[in-house]
Amino acid sequence: MIDKVIIKKNFSRSAKFYDQYAVIQNLCALELIKKTGLDSFSRILDIGCGTGNYTQLLRDKFPFARIKAIEISSPMVEIARKKLKAKGIEFILGDGESINLGEQFDLISSNVSFQWFEDLNQALSRYRKLLKKGGVILFSIFGPRTFYELNKALEELCGLVSPISASYFATASRIEQMLNDNFQDSRVERKNYKKRYTSIQELFKTIKYTGARGNGLAGKKIWTSKMLNNLERIYKTKFKEIMATYEVFFCRGVK
C-alpha cells in the first residue's frame, strides 16, 4: 500500500541530491521524449515533474507550448523553478494524482512518477477529462520487477515475502487494462535498464536519494554493518555482483 505522506517526505528530503543520483530516471526521460514522435502539442501538463529534468526536455522539443508542471514536494519544485526560470513554465505545488485544473491539454505526460499513486486507474480517468479530443497521455512508470535482485536478497536475509515497495507496482497487463478502459489506441512497451553498483551501500544511497524507496522496507529494520555485509554476501552469491534491474513501462493512450 502506497503511503503518500511518506513518499512526499522521502522526495523532499532527497531533493538536493536527486540530480546527482537520478541516472536511470534521466534515461527514462530521454526515451519518453522520443515517444512524443512528430506530434505537435500546444498545451502540456507534466505530472510529478520532480527537479524539472523531463520538463526541460518537453520545453526543448516544444518551445512554443504552454507548459504546466505539478509536483508534490516543495523542495523539488523549488529546484525545478530555479533550474527552468525564464523558460515560461508554470510550476504548481500539489498532488498530481488528484489535480483538477479546470482546463484541457493536448498532452499529459509524466516520467516515472505514477508508480507512487494510490489509485492509478482513477487518476487516468481524471486525466482523460483533462485532455482535449484527440489528446495524448504519455508516461513512463516503474514495474514490479524493479529492484528484483534486491528483493530476492532481502527475502532471504529478512525472512519476508516481497519486502520492498516495488514488488507491488502495477504489472504491464494491469496498466494495459487501465489504459484500455480510459483511452483509445493504447499501448504499453517494456524496457529493462540494468545498473551495476560497487556495493550495497551505493545501491541503497541511490534508492534513498532518488526517492525510490517508497514506504521503506517492510519490518522497518535498522541496518547494522553486519546486516549490510550479510546482505551483500547473499546478493553476490545469488547474482555474482551488485546489479539492479529497473523495469520500466512506456505507456500511451489517445482520447
User: Could you read off the pLDDT of 57-77 as tens digits, one per residue?
Assistant: 999 999 999 999 999 999 999
Q: Is 198 exposed, middle or buried (0-12, 13-18, 19+ CB in 10 A)?
A: exposed
Set out the domains of the chain in order of their start, with CATH numbers: 4-147+166-194+248-254 (3.40.50.150)
Kindly report the number of other CB atoms within 10 A of residue 64's CB atom: 9
How far CA 224 is from CA of 4, 13, 135, 235, 242, in Å, comes to 28, 22, 51, 16, 19
Q: Can you give the pTM of this predicted structure?
A: 0.94
Confidence label for 167 from pLDDT (cuts 50, 70 and 90): confident
Residue bearing cell 532471504: 156
> Are the beta carbons of 217 and 164 closer than 8 angstroms?
yes
Q: Is the pLDDT of residue 220 over 70?
A: no
Confidence label for 164 from pLDDT (cuts 50, 70 and 90): confident
> Are the beta carbons of 111 and 209 closer than 8 angstroms?
no
Confidence label for 5 from pLDDT (cuts 50, 70 and 90): confident
* pLDDT score recorded for residue 214: 63
Q: What 3-state class would DSSP assign to 113?
A: coil
Round to whole Å and give the CA distance between 208 and 221.
15
Partnered with residue 37 across adjacent β-strands are none
* pLDDT score recorded for residue 3: 77
